[in-house]
Amino acid sequence: MVDLIEGSGIHFASKLSDKYVSNLEELFFFHPAQSRYKRRLLEINQRYGLPEIIKEGYFVSIKALNSNTQCLFMVNEDTVLGALVYIRESRDTINVIHFVTRKLTIQCSGSKLMGLSDYFLKIFLRNMRSIKGVKWLNILYRKKCILPV
């Protein structure tokens, strides 16, 4: 079953309108799969700081409090579909420290179906390729999940 179609109102942003706050809180802090990653989340939070929704005027973003992190959101008209918090750990490595999506499928070009998390990572990897010097994407939720950029 297809939940979304690529290009149909999905967009990516580093900040969201504050109208999405409750939707973002529900997805990011109360995701049903969170318990699977409890140990890794504790390690990540000790290293980088607890994630917090930051309000800046009429916009919100997510930051890890002890680090210079950035975020990327995937949204459609009325729903936050995914959130990714990352940091440039070194000249050649981006660490994804928090990553969450809704459990949906998306139909991509050529009728290919993908999970929403795979689609989001594909778009994120494409964007990271444009950053000079970045060679690796390290997803900290999973041990030894380092992808070439």
Q: Which CATH class is domain 4-148?
A: alpha beta
pLDDT digits (tens, 9 = 90+) for 81-112: 999 999 999 999 999 999 999 988 877 776 67
pLDDT of residue 78: 84
- Residue 106: exposure state from Cβ atoms within 10 A (0-12, 13-18, ≥19): buried
Least confident segment among 2-6, 20-24, 63-67, 124-128: 2-6
pLDDT of residue 111: 64
Q: Smallest Cα–Cα separation from 41: which of 142, 145, 144?
A: 142
The answer to whether 37 and 98 have CB atoms below 8 angstroms apart is: no
Average pLDDT, the chain: 87
Give CA–CA dist 131/125, Å, rounded: 10
Q: Is the pLDDT of residue 7 over 60?
A: yes
**Residue with tokens 């297809």, as numbered in its chain:** 2
pLDDT of residue 51: 93
Buried b / exposed e across 54-70, counting CB within 10 Å, b at 16+?
Answer: eeeeeebbbbbeebebb
Q: What percentage of the chain reaches a pLDDT higher than 70?
A: 93
Q: List the 146-148 sheet strands across, edge first.
A: 11-13, 70-75, 80-90, 93-101, 136-139, 146-148
Q: Which residue has the higher pLDDT, 91 or 1?
A: 91
Give CA–CA dist 116/3, Å, rounded: 9
